[in-house]
Structure 1
Amino acid sequence: MQYPIKKNSLVDETIRTIRQHIRQQTWTLNERIPSEAELVELFGIGRNTIREAIKILAYLGVLDVCQGDGTYVRAVDDFSESIVLLNRASLHDHLETRCLLEIEIARFAARRRNAEDIQNLQALLALREKINPLEDLEEFWIRDRDLHLAIAIASHNQALHATYRYFLSTSYEYTKLFIQDEDLAEPDHPAHETLVAAIISGDENQASAYARALLMPTIQQLEQLSTT
């Protein structure tokens, strides 16, 4: 049976179709998929398109091309689709996810911070205070980001830090919306001072509560606006 591919964006459509077959378990994990020639016949498209789609999926870790043996399914999903969804998320969803991450990051940071972490947090907090976001938004974002990344580093959880670091790298446009909208509650510097103080003192419950308090007022405002 043929599964014809649309003629527009052939490589993208081929990637999407191969993923669909994998998710539907037409080809299961660690199973060899049909050869290029068989896929050409199956999808009704050219060999070059098939080859390019396989190359991209191999780069993403979904497929594994074994020379002389064939191409195997190595993963059902990859991060690329998650990244697309993340970049399309609303300001509300972005802040809600960031809040969830920061609550646990603050908890672990309060539990695990060391002398070097404390020194870094104090220095970065002082630098953040010196910038007015309405005068230099980009520099403010950098200093605010550096402080929050230092808190993530103080959690001493490499996976959590890496996830949060990537999440922040996508957030500049959201930060601009957040700061420039005068109707939205913005976490002020004293709120950040309170959070850092709780982490330094080692109070896990207070640290997570203060981390939650930074963004929840804005999240609640956005929820109210969406219902009006």
Structure 2
Amino acid sequence: MPLASTRRTGLVDQVIDQLRDAVRRGEWALGERIPTEAELAATLGVGRNTVREAVRALAHGGLLEVRQGDGTYVRATSEVSGALRRLGESKLREALQVRRILEVEGARLAAAARTGADLDTLTRLLGERDALWSRGRVDDFARCDAEFHLAMVDAAHNSVLSELYRGLTELVTASVVTTSSADLHHAEPVDHRGIVAAIADGDADRAARHTTEFLDDLVARHLG
């Protein structure tokens, strides 16, 4: 357990921060039950009421889910993601529109800011996602595809943009699973080589155009 004893001021806020960081680091996986209230209180050196209040705040933010009589589970990896999950399928179009805004600008900025290491990562993930598709491993393909898009946004080297996009990661992965399952009859997945090539060439307009075309097509094919 990586949690540390807290100071005696602002205890609830400190516990909230530590629990949030543990979730973001993957200490507890999505869908996993976290330690009990008593266990957390003992580890953190605080009272159970403090833990209870912190958990209640994170549950309200969508990060955790309290199941009466069963325990507390990780519901999302960030409050942004938790809020998006609560939107439900009826809001998928709006979420994809936000994804489009962030990814198009991310691709544009990446063309100017990407490093050699960024290009290596994008090329590696592109090969992995295509290999997973060819083996029909839709869930693994979706996770790898989402990782590719996150790496593209990260290549922009804008920390605020990356943080906003990370809030969409779970929804992006879920949408990829849904759309990929419907598209398995195609021999090849959506080709992202044009995006990587444009970023490698430092062509911001071309990178943005390829990304726009891909996401517009995704919305048109699956949301009408």
Q: TM-score, normalised by structure 1?
A: 0.56
Structure 1 unmatched ranges of 5 or more = 1-47, 61-77
Alignment partner, residue 200 of structure 2: 200
Contact 1:87 1:170 in 2 (8 A): no
Deviation at 1:143, TM superposition (A): 1.5
Contact 1:118 1:200 in 2 (8 A): yes
Deviation at 1:98, TM superposition (A): 1.4
Alignment partner, residue 151 of structure 2: 150
CA deviation digits over 1:31-89, x for unaligned, max 9? xxxxxxxxxxxxxxxxx9xx969x739x96xxxxxxxxxxxxxxxxx969844554455
Alignment coverage as a number of residue pairs = 155
Q: Distance in 2 between matches of 1:182 and 1:118?
A: 27
Alignment partner, residue 105 of structure 2: 104
Contact 1:149 1:165 in 2 (8 A): yes
Change (3 A) 1:86 1:164: farther
Q: Distance in 1 between matches of 2:142 and 2:82?
A: 27
Structure 2 unmatched ranges of 5 or more = 1-48, 62-78
User: Which secondary structure does the structure 1 equivalent of 2:118 belong to?
Assistant: helix
Q: Which amino acid aligns with 1:203?
A: D
Q: Report sequence identity in percent.
A: 28
Contact 2:195 2:207 in 1 (8 A): yes
Deviation at 1:161, TM superposition (A): 0.8
Q: Distance in 1 between matches of 2:85 and 2:140?
A: 26
Contact 1:112 1:155 in 2 (8 A): yes
User: Which secondary structure does the structure 1 equivalent of 2:136 belong to?
Assistant: coil
User: Which secondary structure does the structure 2 equivalent of 1:131 belong to?
Assistant: helix
Q: Which amino acid aligns with 1:109?
A: A
User: Which secondary structure does the structure 2 equivalent of 1:135 belong to?
Assistant: coil
Q: Distance in 2 between matches of 1:194 and 1:91?
A: 26
CA deviation digits over 1:11-34, x for unaligned, max 9? xxxxxxxxxxxxxxxxxxxxxxxx
152-161 or 118-127: bigger deviation: 118-127
Alignment partner, residue 90 of structure 1: 91
Q: Which amino acid aligns with 1:106?
A: A
Q: Distance in 2 between matches of 1:182 and 1:189?
A: 9
Alignment partner, residue 25 of structure 1: none
Contact 2:179 2:222 in 1 (8 A): no
Q: What is the RMSD computed on CA atoms of the aligned residues?
A: 3.5
Change (3 A) 1:125 1:79: closer
- 2:223 matched to 1:209? no
Deviation at 1:195, TM superposition (A): 0.5
Q: Which amino acid aligns with 1:112?
A: A
Alignment partner, residue 21 of structure 1: none
CA deviation digits over 1:80-134, x for unaligned, max 9? 9844554455332232221121100100100100111112112221222211277
Alignment partner, residue 127 of structure 1: 128
Q: Distance in 1 between matches of 2:81 and 2:119?
A: 35
Q: Distance in 1 between matches of 2:194 and 2:139?
A: 24
Q: Which amino acid aligns with 2:166?
A: R
Q: Which amino acid aligns with 1:126?
A: G
Deviation at 1:154, TM superposition (A): 0.5
Change (3 A) 1:91 1:178: farther
Change (3 A) 1:163 1:79: closer
The structure having more radius of gyration, on CA atoms, is: 1
Q: TM-score, normalised by structure 2?
A: 0.57
Deviation at 1:173, TM superposition (A): 2.8
Report 1:169-180 matches (<5 A): 169-180=170-181
